[in-house]
């Protein structure tokens, strides 16, 4: 440590402590129970090991050892989930000491159990998604490759896990999970979105799917697509009102190509619609339509004869 | 190790060594003092622990232990910062041995001290940013959630830290920091940009804010927005000239929706302007305007009756 | 572990095991040889240490110790590459026990050797790319900064490594490598794309370059650019046909600005063309043209006088 700071250490410390005293929202001193992001990321990875055995985690599974592997993973996940859900519940309710620790713990244990009982169903849903990716992407050589390598499939896996937790009533954790996937893949799916079966996101980078989006079955979207909000009604203090449907509805069998932006809670993209790349849509589109920009009026000028 | 390579190890080694000898810019043999990226990322994380105590790092802070926590963090950060700033200064000045190691060390210690004395002020600025995110995003349930989970807020935190270091005169380190945030969030804010108070970036993915951008107060931007350069004047050797203002100026109270691209050093987006999604702007816009594409002329054709 | 799950552990385990039994594609029980992603990422990092000595890994290289450093890295890389290529070959051929382990091992060793013998050539190619980045970006202060910090250069380094492996005939590993770079940089370059000399990707976020793209020399592209597929011919079962050229050809000296989308296997962007930001192109463009949107017809309305 350098001398300069050493001499000033007391003063620097006082300055920073007084800055903490001034504002209670950017510090959590005397607050317990903040969930741990690294532990929650670990829960995502353990759940993935349970969902796709042999792909992630233990690689040498056999018909003989798989039962022990699953039992062991369930034990570990159950403990970790209960602990972190407990912290999420406490954080949600306020940051001081917990007044009914037993009830919180029991609620958390119940939610963890409910989640683990849904693993089989999530597997079924993710198999259909993997199949959709394989069918829809000429670059996919096998379904294994999709499960093991595709970032869009990873983002979707984390979304489906986070969405189940949200449905079960777990606060905070679902968003921490999807933000982890967002950071890893560039694909930001809010855990509150409702997404049907056989969903495929190609390339994934830059995709944003907002909290109140509804997506039907067999929908396919490409990189850079935003399903977002158009504008926000504000309260008398000028702050946006929370809780309304702000994001679009995408019906079955829709394809949305790269970098299209679709906005608004009342915007409905009808069944079977194809949306071209780079389009910008804020109104509903009837079923079985093809949406493009008016003939792509590009200007192509020669750079050779500048006159 | 396999036999094939073992036999050829001498030859492979010679080939690679002779490739090193040919070019001095893609190797640093005999060069000391390159700063360590992993140590600089650790500095970012320690600074974040100082900025938002109880959120990151030590989670069980109390009124009693927080003083020791802060003193300890300051000691550690001061040493790490001095060491890495020293390496950055030496790298900037050339890669051979340092001729005035004491001066470099003293400069580095002074810069580290200056940075640490600004932590309180950075906290004040970041609180306003967190408040802006909470007010502007209907999906944000609490300010804590913004601080703890929002990728745009993370990118902005790293930018504000890196920008202070740049102002203090630290070379290289600021860019290493913002590239780390870029990698984590998909949001690329150059440390040289000037950004006012209460700035909010929603979703963050794909945002690019160039080196010479100026942004006023209470500005809100969405995913995929580029504030970029239009074209580059070149010198007689055909290389772009460095150091000019190449990126736009965004005045107070501007909102820029998803995937808009605004280019050019003389482009000024006036106070209170709203820019619609997917627009492409290369000229200035007067205050209090709404910029959209000419009526979004989308072609919607039925796919059922192809004639 | 909580009581609730403890009591139900048997039942939960049975449910999950029966879900594994139902589908063979989302589990790998009794399958050996899946390559390890973390080991492959380590191979990328070791290769980078070999490509750019002193920048990554060992930082205190001298004329004396560099020979030992290179010999040691080659030994390590050779062993790791052989092992993981072996796993990739086995996975590609099916997931049961290997019937000719010696042949697989020998094939893998030969491929590893071939790859290592190309390191010098890759260095030459990457030096030209670094030079192109320095020349093309006014924010780049030195070539060192490009090598050490630029995400686009990182994505390109991983692509060039992965492309060599693909040319040598290594399955699976190239894609795992580029998906790692994709996750780190937001830039998705398929290892199958063909990219010429002096390529520069600025900012990198959101760039997608498809499997059958051809790119000439001295091409420069910006964030958010997609070189993608237009639509896919399908087989009688409605699945897309694999293996056709689906992505565009970009000739020498082309510049493509931010967020442009260029689609289609027959689309050729001629030599020397400049493509403006946010354009959407599905047809070929003749050499030396400038492609923009028809005069950017933006509507700018005052928000003050709403009548």
**How many other CB atoms are found less than 10 A from the CB of residue C111?**
22
CA distance A70 to chain B (A): 31
B297 compared with C15, residue with greater pLDDT? C15
What whole-number distance in Å separates Cα of residue B75 and Cα of residue B46? Answer: 11
**Cβ pair A138:C20 closer than 8 A:** no
To which residue do tokens 């000239």 refer? B241
What confidence tier does B47 reach under pLDDT thresholds 50, 70, 90?
A: very high
User: Which phi and psi angles does B153 have, rounded to 5°?
Assistant: -70, -35
User: Does residue B96 carry a pLDDT above 60?
Assistant: no
Q: For B30-185, which CATH class?
A: mainly alpha
User: Does residue C295 carry a pLDDT above 60?
Assistant: no
| Domain covering A206-294, topology | UDP N-Acetylglucosamine Acyltransferase; domain 1 (2.160.10)
Q: Can you read off the two tokens belonging to residue C198?
A: 């002096």
A293 compared with A127, residue with greater pLDDT? A127
Q: CATH 2.160.10.10 in chain C: give the residue spans.
A: 206-295
Q: Which residues, in sequence order, are CB contacts of A307 under 8 Å at separation 6+?
A: none
Nearest neighbour of B17 by CB, restricted to C67, C205, C278: C67
What confidence tier does B307 reach under pLDDT thresholds 50, 70, 90?
A: very low
Please name the helix (run of DSSP H) or strand (run of DSSP E) that holds residue B124, with its range, or none.
Answer: helix B119-136
For A31-54, what is each residue's pLDDT tens digit? 767 889 999 999 999 999 999 999
For B184-195, what is each residue's pLDDT tens digit? 999 999 999 999
**Cβ pair C19:A276 closer than 8 A:** no
What confidence tier does A196 reach under pLDDT thresholds 50, 70, 90?
A: very high
A174-178, A235-239, B120-124, C166-170: the lowest-pLDDT one? A235-239
What whole-number distance in Å separates Cα of residue A245 and Cα of residue C300? Answer: 29
User: Does residue A122 carry a pLDDT above 80?
Assistant: yes
What whole-number distance in Å separates Cα of residue C197 and Cα of residue C195? Answer: 7
CA distance C288 to chain B (A): 17
What whole-number distance in Å separates Cα of residue A102 and Cα of residue A108? Answer: 10
- Mean pLDDT of all residues belonging to chain C: 88
For B215-231, what is each residue's pLDDT tens digit? 999 999 999 999 998 87
**Cβ pair B151:A37 closer than 8 A:** no
| Domain covering C29-186, topology | 1.10.3130
What confidence tier does B233 reach under pLDDT thresholds 50, 70, 90?
A: low
Helix (H, G, I), strand (E, B) or coil at A297: coil
R_g (Cα) of chain C, nearest Å: 24
User: Does residue B38 carry a pLDDT above 60?
Assistant: yes
Q: Which residues, in sequence order, are CB contacts of C256 under 8 Å at separation 6+?
A: C219, C220, C221, C222, C225, C250, C262, C269, C275
B299 compared with A301, residue with greater pLDDT? A301
What confidence tier does B304 reach under pLDDT thresholds 50, 70, 90?
A: low
CB pairs under 8 A between B and C: 228
User: Does residue C217 carry a pLDDT above 60?
Assistant: yes
What confidence tier does A212 reach under pLDDT thresholds 50, 70, 90?
A: very high
Identify the pLDDT of residue B240.
66
Q: Which residues of B touch C302 (CB under 8 A)?
A: 286, 288-290
What whole-number distance in Å separates Cα of residue C11 and Cα of residue C24? Answer: 21
Kindly tell me the burial class for residue B146, based on how many C-beta atoms sit within 10 Å of its own C-beta (0-12, 13-18, 19 or more). buried
- The CATH number of B206-293, from 2.30.29.30, 2.80.10.50, 2.160.10.10, 2.40.340.10, is 2.160.10.10
Residues C284-290, mean pLDDT to the nearest whole number: 93
Spell B59-71 as b/e; 16+ CB within 10 A means b: bebeeeebeebbb
Q: Which residues, in sequence order, are CB contacts of B104 under 8 Å at separation 6+?
A: B86, B89, B90, B98
CA distance A269 to chain C (A): 20
Are A63 and C29 within 8 A, CB to CB? yes
CA distances from B302 to A270, A273, A287, A291, C304 (A): 11, 9, 8, 9, 39
User: Does residue A3 carry a pLDDT above 80?
Assistant: no
Residues A168-187, mean pLDDT to the nearest whole number: 94
**Closest chain A residue to B202 measured between Cα atoms?**
A208
Q: Which residues, in sequence order, are CB contacts of A203 under 8 Å at separation 6+?
A: A151, A152, A222, A223, A258, C188, C208
**How many other CB atoms are found less than 10 A from the CB of residue C238?**
7
Region of C259 (left: φ > 0; alpha: ψ -120 to 50; beta: rest) is left
Identify the pLDDT of residue A270.
96
Residues A287-295, mean pLDDT to the nearest whole number: 81
For C1-10, what is each residue's pLDDT tens digit? 456 666 788 8
Are A92 and A108 within 8 A, CB to CB? no
What whole-number distance in Å separates Cα of residue B307 and Cα of residue B28? Answer: 66
> What letter would DSSP give residue C170?
-
Please give the ipTM for the structure prediction: 0.85
User: Does residue C142 carry a pLDDT above 70?
Assistant: yes
**What angle, 0 to 180 degrees and rounded to 10, lies between the N-to-C axes of helices C3-22 and A66-93?**
130
CA A7 to chain centroid = 47
| Domain covering C206-295, topology | UDP N-Acetylglucosamine Acyltransferase; domain 1 (2.160.10)
What whole-number distance in Å separates Cα of residue B231 and Cα of residue B233? Answer: 7
Spell A128-149 as b/e; 16+ CB within 10 A means b: ebbbbbbbbbbbbeebbbbbbb
User: Does residue A283 carry a pLDDT above 70?
Assistant: yes
Q: Which residues of A touch B141 (CB under 8 A)?
A: 242
Q: Can you read off the two tokens belonging to residue A34?
A: 């903040």
Q: CATH 2.160.10.10 in chain B: give the residue spans.
A: 206-293
Identify the pLDDT of residue A95.
47
What whole-number distance in Å separates Cα of residue A248 and Cα of residue A237? Answer: 27
A19-33, A271-285, B184-198: the lowest-pLDDT one? A19-33
Q: Which residues of A touch C12 (CB under 8 A)?
A: 74, 116-117, 119
B58 compared with C100, residue with greater pLDDT? B58
Q: CATH 1.10.3130.10 in chain C: give the residue spans.
A: 29-186
**Closest chain C residue to A73 measured between Cα atoms?**
C13
**Cβ pair A241:B138 closer than 8 A:** yes
**Pick among B128, B157, B299 to test the A interface (most A CBs inside 10 A):** B299
To which residue do tokens 């001298």 refer? C62
User: Does residue C95 carry a pLDDT above 90?
Assistant: no
Q: Can you read off the two tokens belonging to residue C218?
A: 């001295």
What whole-number distance in Å separates Cα of residue C211 and Cα of residue C200? Answer: 18
User: Does residue A6 carry a pLDDT above 60?
Assistant: yes
Identify the pLDDT of residue C307.
42
Residues A134-159, mean pLDDT to the nearest whole number: 91
Measured on CA atoms in the order C56, C58, C64, C67, is the torsion positive or negative? negative
Q: What percent of chain C has pLDDT over 70?
A: 89
For B266-278, what is each residue's pLDDT tens digit? 999 999 999 988 8
B71-80, C41-50, C95-104: the lowest-pLDDT one? C95-104
Are A59 and C34 within 8 A, CB to CB? yes
Identify the pLDDT of residue B267.
96
**Cβ pair B298:A281 closer than 8 A:** yes
Domain A30-186 matching CATH 3.40.718.10: the answer reads: no
Q: Which residues of A touch B61 (CB under 8 A)?
A: 27-30
What confidence tier does B81 reach under pLDDT thresholds 50, 70, 90?
A: very high
User: Does residue C260 carry a pLDDT above 60?
Assistant: yes
CA distance B219 to chain A (A): 15
What confidence tier does C28 reach under pLDDT thresholds 50, 70, 90?
A: confident
A98-102, A197-201, C191-195, C238-242: the lowest-pLDDT one? C238-242
User: Which phi and psi angles does C257 have, rounded to 5°?
Assistant: -80, 175
DSSP A95-163: SS--S-HHHHHHHHHHHHHHHHTTHHHHHHHHHHHHHHHHHH-TT---HHHHHHH-HHHHHHHHHHHHH
B24 compared with C114, residue with greater pLDDT? C114
Q: CATH 1.10.3130.10 in chain A: give the residue spans.
A: 30-186
**How many other CB atoms are found less than 10 A from the CB of residue A22?**
12
CA distances from C126 to C57, C67, C158 (A): 18, 22, 10
Residues A214-225, mean pLDDT to the nearest whole number: 96
User: Does residue B292 carry a pLDDT above 90?
Assistant: no
**Cβ pair A116:C26 closer than 8 A:** no
Q: CATH 1.10.3130.10 in chain B: give the residue spans.
A: 30-185
Q: How many CA atoms lie within 13 A of C65 on its CB side?
A: 12
Nearest neighbour of A277 by CB, restricted to C37, C261, C291: C261
Identify the pLDDT of residue C24.
80
């Amino acid at each position: 440590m350098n001398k300069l700071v050493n001499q000033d250490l007391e003063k620097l410390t006082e300055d920073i402590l007084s800055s903490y005293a001034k504002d209670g929202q950017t510090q959590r001193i005397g607050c317990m129970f903040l969930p741990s992001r690294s532990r929650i990321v670990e829960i995502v990875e353990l759940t993935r090991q349970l969902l796709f055995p042999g792909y992630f985690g233990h690689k040498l599974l056999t018909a003989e050892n798989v039962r022990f592997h699953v039992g062991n993973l369930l034990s570990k996940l159950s403990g970790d989930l209960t602990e972190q859900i407990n912290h999420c519940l406490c954080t949600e309710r306020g940051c001081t000491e917990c007044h009914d620790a037993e009830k919180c713990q029991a609620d958390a244990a119940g939610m963890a159990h409910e989640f683990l009982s849904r693993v089989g169903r999530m597997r079924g849903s993710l198999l259909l998604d993997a199949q959709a990716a394989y069918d829809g992407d000429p670059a996919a050589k096998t379904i294994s490759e999709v499960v093991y390598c595709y970032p869009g499939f990873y983002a979707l896996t984390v979304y489906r896990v986070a969405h189940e937790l949200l449905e079960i009533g777990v606060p905070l954790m679902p968003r921490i999970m999807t933000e982890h996937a967002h950071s890893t893949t560039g694909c930001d799916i809010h855990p509150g979105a409702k997404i049907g079966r056989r969903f495929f996101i190609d390339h994934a980078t830059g995709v944003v799917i907002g909290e109140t989006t509804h997506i039907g079955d067999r929908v396919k979207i490409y990189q850079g697509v935003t399903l977002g909000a158009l504008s926000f009604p504000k309260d008398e203090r000028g702050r946006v009102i929370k809780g309304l449907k702000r994001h679009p509805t995408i019906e079955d069998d829709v394809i949305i190509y790269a970098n299209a932006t679709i906005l608004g809670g009342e915007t409905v993209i009808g069944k079977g619609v194809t949306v071209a790349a780079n389009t910008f849509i804020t109104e509903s589109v009837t079923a079985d339509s093809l949406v493009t920009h008016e003939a792509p009026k590009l200007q192509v000028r020669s750079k050779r004869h500048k006159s």
